[in-house]
């Protein structure tokens, strides 16, 4: 939606990817909202049935600055809910606390579990 409202014909792939992820989460029957974590925004807080997830969506986290921005948003969260980073990167950026999914993997899944 951001690209539609901008008057200088800017086409923002990162925002478009976030829209794709949001639409897919919503289509699959999840309750989706934005989450604030001590002043850091997490793109999506997702709830379905008794499960909850924190999700960051970014076109890529290959650059160190992008990786730090996306993964640091999860800091100080308790470990009770799964944390997921969705990118277009083929390389697996999973850590001990954050699962990484390539966008195409996410789109092919029926759910997040």
What residue numbers bound the domain in which 14 lies?
Answer: 2-108
Backbone CA torsion sign across 53, 57, 60, 61: negative
Residue 16 within a domain: yes
Residue 113 within a domain: no
The pLDDT-based confidence of 72 (bands split at 50, 70, 90) is very high
Residue 91 within a domain: yes
Cα distance between residue 78 and residue 55, in whole Å: 14
pLDDT for 36 beyond 80: yes
pLDDT for 49 beyond 70: yes
The pLDDT-based confidence of 6 (bands split at 50, 70, 90) is low
The pLDDT-based confidence of 12 (bands split at 50, 70, 90) is confident
pLDDT for 9 beyond 80: no
State pTM to two decimals: 0.87
Q: What is the largest CA-CA distance in the chain?
A: 43
Distances (CA, A) of 52 to 2, 19, 35, 84, 95: 27, 20, 12, 11, 19
CATH number at residue 102: 3.40.1350.10
Counting residues of the chain whose pLDDT is more than 90, the rounded percentage is 74
- The strand pairing partners of 46, in sequence order, are 32, 53
């Amino acid at each position: 939606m951001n690209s539609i409202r901008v008057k200088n014909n800017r086409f923002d792939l990162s925002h478009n990817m976030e829209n794709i992820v949001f639409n897919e989460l919503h289509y699959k029957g999840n309750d989706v909202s934005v989450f604030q974590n001590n002043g850091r925004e997490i793109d999506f807080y997702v709830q379905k049935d008794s499960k909850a997830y924190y999700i960051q969506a970014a076109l890529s986290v290959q650059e160190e600055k992008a990786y730090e921005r996306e993964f640091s948003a999860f800091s100080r969260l308790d470990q009770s809910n799964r944390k997921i980073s969705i990118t277009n990167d083929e390389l697996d950026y999973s850590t001990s606390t954050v699962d990484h999914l390539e966008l195409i993997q996410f789109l092919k899944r029926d759910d997040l579990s």
